[in-house]
Amino acid sequence: MGLALGGGGVRGMAHILVLELLDEVKLKPVVIAGTSIGAIIGSLYASGMPGKDIRELVSRHFRKSGEPLRDVIRKLAALLRWIGPPKARLGRGGGLSSDRFLGHLLEAVCTERFEDLEIPLLVVAADFWAAKEVVFESGKLLPAIRSSMAVPGVFAPVTLDGRVLVDGGLLNPVPYDHLRERCDLTIAVDVCSSRISDDQALPNVLEALLGAFDIMQTAALKVKIGLHPPDIYVRPQVGNIPIFDFARAEEVFEQAQPAIEDLRRQIRPWVRAPRLVHSG
């Protein structure tokens, strides 16, 4: 079984519920592919951390964040407080540096290289100038994950091996297509925005930028699924939570629960199968 975890900011906390369910039914991926927040959660799981431990890690740090902040920029600062006082810096790319956040992440992962992970991991980024996907599956983890989560206008692009890299969601928001030749079952988890709003208010500049990013990802994924769908498609309906409002992770868990119960029904026949063969 191969697992693809998509991008979507705080909505990616729903990935943790998927991992908890897989642990519960003892269905272990032979390969994981991730984009942006999916790459982050995927790296934790691929390192050997069970879903319940990842949930505890997230809840311990974000449940204490206090009242929701008033705008996305301050909510991003709350995310960065996970690893201490914010030391974000603006660079030529016009975004914040993710170094300290991911440095703390790798302490939890307890490895620096893809080769040391317990489960093979693919991390998807986008080459800004060539407009092509870049898929990492070997070498150092940190640069790959930094590249995959470099949301334009929020996190600074990453320069690596002569390329300028940005968030993989620009080209492949849920990279299940990279798993087909490696396993006999593909599960794709889509946490793109559900585009739900109570008041239909005009967005501010950053909300408009991130909202446009969501719309683009959703449209691209719809076309891909129409042509070559995954075996199992999971789309938690998470709305009214800004992309970087990590103080509301528990709300994501609550809203995503119906999709997890649907996934439980979909994987039941596979759980009963003798085994899932790794063909890669």
Distances (CA, A) of 4 to 1, 58, 270: 10, 20, 17
Q: Which residues of 26-46 are buried (b: 16+ CB within 10 A; e: fewer)?
A: ebebbbbbbbbbbbbbbbbbb
Catalytic residue, from 36, 47, 97, 194: name it: 36
Catalytic residue, from 65, 97, 167, 190: name it: 167
Residue 101 to residue 6: CA distance in whole angstroms: 19
Query: Is 36 assigned a catalytic role?
Result: yes
Maximum Cα–Cα distance across the chain: 53
Question: Would you give the DSSP letter of residue 82?
Answer: G
Query: Is 279 assigned a catalytic role?
Result: no
- Residue at 51: amino acid letter: G
Residues 6 or more apart in contact with residue 3 via CB below 8 angstroms: 18, 22, 29, 31, 32, 33, 42, 179, 186, 187, 189
CB 31 within 8 Å of CB 120:
yes
Active site (catalytic) residues? 36, 167
